[in-house]
Structure 1
Amino acid sequence: MKVTVVGAGNVGATCANVLAHNEVANEIVLLDIKEGVAEGKALDMWETSPVNLYDSRITGSTNDYSKTAGSEVVVITSGIPRKPGMSRDDLIATNAGIVKSVTENVIKHSPDAKIIIVSNPLDVMCYTAFLTAKIDKSRVMGMAGVLDTARYRSFIAMELNVSPKDIQALLMGGHGDTMVPLPRYTTVGGIPLTELMAQDKIDAIIERTKFGGGEIVKLLGTSAWYAPGAAAAQMVEAIVKDQKRVLPVCSWLTGEYGQKDIYLGVPVILGKNGIEKILEVDLNDAEKELMNGSADAVRNVMGILKDLNVL
C-alpha cells in the first residue's frame, strides 16, 4: 500500500509524518518541486522510526512522479500563500495552474488513486482537480471540514473543560468565514451542546471557528500546519483502512442539499472507494439559508476561475 503527499511544506510534511507514525501505509512518498526538501524531510522522519517504533517507509523525491506510481491515495498540498500586493485573482490563477499540473501527473502514474486536495482556495482547487482528473467524483475530495470541525470541537472542549474525545460535531459549507457549524448536531458525551452551554457562548465559538485559520496566522505570521496535516492524514487513513468513517468532506454535489455542480463540505461515509455516500441531514430554514449563502460565495470564486481560463 502506497500513499503520496505532494508538497513537502509544513502541512504536507506533517501529514506524511502522522501517516508514518500511525503506520497507515507500507510506503509513503513525499514529493516537492524544490530540490532536496522532500528528500531531507523524509530522511529526517525515517530516522525517528527506531524511536517511535513504526515500519512505514518514507521516501522523498524532487518532482519525480514516477516514484509515486501505484499510489492508493494522493494528498495535494501544493500551492503558494497570498503575498503582499497579490490580488485574489492572481492567487487563484497561480494555484489552479499548480493543482492542474500536479493532478495531471498524479493521474498519469496512479490512475486509480483517490485524490485529497488541501491547496487553497480549497473548494475551487477541488473543482480544478476534478475537471483535470476526469475521474469519478467519489475519488476527488477536499480536506476542510475535518479541520474546521476539529477546531470547533477543540474550542468547545476548552470552554467546557472536557475531553475533546467526547465531542461530536457537524460543520458544513465552504472553507472560510462562510462555513456552517451546526450546534443542533453537536453533542458532548451524547448530551446536546445546547444543554450544556449558553447560546452566546456557542455563537462566540462559532465565530472563532470561522476565523480559526486567521487567528493562527496573526500569532505565527504564517498558516497553521499541525491541525491541517493531521486532518488530511485522518482522511487518508479512513480510505486506506476502509474505516467507513462519517466525516465532513468537501464533495462534488449533484443535487444534495439543493446544490448542484459545486464542491461544498457535507457529511460523507469515507472508505476504500473514496466518498462512498453523501449523507443528507435535515436542515432548518436558518441553516438552509447559511448553506445557500456559503454556496453562493464558492460559486463567486468558481466564476473567477472560469473567467481566468486557466483550465
Structure 2
Amino acid sequence: MGKKVTVVGAGFYGSTTAQRLAEYDVFDTVVITDIVAGRPAGLALDLNQSRPVEDFETTVVGVTTGPNGEGYEAIGGSDVVVITAGLPRKPGMSRMDLLATNARIVRQVAESVARHAPDAVVIVVSNPLDEMTALAQLASGFPKGRVLGQAGMLDTARFTNFVAEALRVPVRSVRTLTLGSHGDTMVPVPSRSTVEGRPLREAMPARQIEELVDKTRNGGAEVVALLKTGSAYYAPSAAAARMAKAVAEDSGAVLPVCAWVDGEYGISGVYLGVEAEIGAGGVRRVVETELDADELASLRAAAEAVRAKQADVADM
C-alpha cells in the first residue's frame, strides 16, 4: 500500500503544507480536510492540475469534515497526520490567547484521528504549540513518541535566516539551534551555532546575538503584525512538511522538534523543544546535545514553565 499523509485544516498553513507534501512526490496520496464546505475539494482540484507543470504524481484529495467527526473516514490508512486546525493569531494576541478555543478543536481532531488512522504519526502545529501537542497525545491515546510538534525547526530557521542576513553570508553557511518552548521561553543555543564553520560567538558580538535571539523569539508576532489578517505559513509549512517527509522516508534525520522528554537533560515528563531522531514511528529517540551551563539552566526553566501550562490542558 502506498504512503498517505493527511493535513487537517485548509487555511494558508494547511494548504501550503499540502502543496509542499505533494510536490515532494514521496506520498501516493495527500488528503486535505477542512470544516469549510468545498474548500478542501477546490484546493485539491487546483493542486492536482499543477502536477504536469511541477512533475509530481501524488494525488491530492479534499474532504469536508463535520464537528462530530463526519468525513474523517477519508484519512484512514494515513502514515502521517499534520494538525494545523485552529484559529491563527491576530495582531496583539499571544499564542496563549488561543488556548481555550484551539484546545476544543485539537481535542476533537485528535479523537477523530485515533478513530480512523490509529497507526499514524501525528505532527501538531496548532498554537499554543507545546500545550496542543500534549493535548493531542492525551486525546488520541497514542504512544508519546508518535505525537510531536513543529516549533524548533521554525525557530531555528528564523534564527539562521536572521544571522545570515546580519552577516550578509549565504544561508547555507549558517548553522543555529533553538530548543525549549515555542514562545517566550525559547532557548537559543549559541554554543552550537556556527558561521562558515566558526563559532557564532566569534563571528558576532554577544549583544548582537541577543538582539537576533529576541527577533527570533518575536518572529511570529512580527509577521502577524504586518499581515494583520493571519499568521506566518510559508516558513512554518516548510518545517512541518520536512518533518512529515522524515517520517515517510524513515530517514533518521535529527531535527529540533517538540517531543516527549523523559530523563534527558535531567528533565522528565513534559513535551519540550529538543533535537530528536525522526523515523517511521515518529520520535526514535531524543538526542541530547552538549549545552553550556546557562543554556541548560534556560532549558530546564522552559520545561517547568511548559509543564505547568500542559497540566492545564488535560481537562480542556
Distance in 2 (CA, whole Å) between partners of 1:157 and 1:169 is 10
* Structure 1 match to 2:68: none
* Residues 82 and 123 in structure 2, CA contact (< 8 A), matched pair in contact too: yes
1:62 has 2:70 as partner:
no
* Structure 1 match to 2:149: 142
Distance change in 2, residues 1:157/1:96 (3 Å):
same
Distance in 2 (CA, whole Å) between partners of 1:46 and 1:285 is 51
* Structure 2 match to 1:162: 169
Report deviation, 1:87: 9.8
1:124 has 2:131 as partner:
yes
1:182 has 2:189 as partner:
yes
Report deviation, 1:305: 2.5
Range with greater deviation from structure 2 (275-284 or 221-230): 275-284
Distance change in 2, residues 1:154/1:69 (3 Å):
same
* Residues 30 and 60 in structure 1, CA contact (< 8 A), matched pair in contact too: yes
Range with greater deviation from structure 2 (162-171 or 222-231): 162-171
Distance change in 2, residues 1:85/1:190 (3 Å):
closer
Distance in 2 (CA, whole Å) between partners of 1:151 and 1:187 is 15
Identify which of 203, 213, 226 aligns with 2:234: 226
Distance in 2 (CA, whole Å) between partners of 1:44 and 1:257 is 46
* Structure 2 match to 1:40: 42
Distance in 2 (CA, whole Å) between partners of 1:32 and 1:260 is 35
* Structure 1 match to 2:249: 241
* Residues 190-220 of structure 1, C-alpha deviations (whole Å, 9 max, x = no match): 2221222222221111110000001111111
* Residues 176 and 190 in structure 2, CA contact (< 8 A), matched pair in contact too: yes
Which SS does the other structure have where 2:257 is aligned? Answer: strand
User: TM-score, normalised on structure 2?
Assistant: 0.93
Distance in 2 (CA, whole Å) between partners of 1:201 and 1:60 is 46
* Structure 2 match to 1:73: 80
1:300 has 2:315 as partner:
no
* Residues 89 and 304 in structure 1, CA contact (< 8 A), matched pair in contact too: no
Output the amino acid matched with 1:229.
S
Distance change in 2, residues 1:287/1:90 (3 Å):
closer
Distance change in 2, residues 1:60/1:184 (3 Å):
same
Identify which of 189, 196, 201 aligns with 1:194: 201
Cα RMSD, aligned residues only = 1.9
Distance in 1 (CA, whole Å) between partners of 2:253 and 2:179 is 16
* Structure 1 match to 2:274: 266
Report deviation, 1:72: 0.4
Identify which of 263, 269, 275 aligns with 1:255: 263
Distance in 2 (CA, whole Å) between partners of 1:88 and 1:152 is 19
Distance in 1 (CA, whole Å) between partners of 2:97 and 2:243 is 30
Which SS does the other structure have where 1:281 is aligned? Answer: coil
Identify which of 198, 218, 223 aligns with 1:216: 223
Q: Runs in 1 of length 4+ with deviation above 3 angstroms?
A: 81-91
Distance in 2 (CA, whole Å) between partners of 1:53 and 1:246 is 29
* Structure 2 match to 1:276: 284
Distance change in 2, residues 1:129/1:219 (3 Å):
same
Distance change in 2, residues 1:87/1:17 (3 Å):
closer
1:205 has 2:212 as partner:
yes
Distance change in 2, residues 1:129/1:207 (3 Å):
same
Distance change in 2, residues 1:48/1:193 (3 Å):
same
Distance change in 2, residues 1:46/1:212 (3 Å):
same
Report deviation, 1:300: 3.2
* Residues 49-99 of structure 1, C-alpha deviations (whole Å, 9 max, x = no match): 111111111110001111111000000011113569999887322211111
* Residues 181 and 306 in structure 2, CA contact (< 8 A), matched pair in contact too: yes
Report deviation, 1:298: 1.3
Identify which of 265, 288, 295 aligns with 1:287: 295
Report deviation, 1:226: 0.5
Structure 1: state its 5+ residue gaps.
none
Distance in 2 (CA, whole Å) between partners of 1:23 and 1:281 is 32
Distance in 2 (CA, whole Å) between partners of 1:208 and 1:90 is 21
Report deviation, 1:297: 2.3
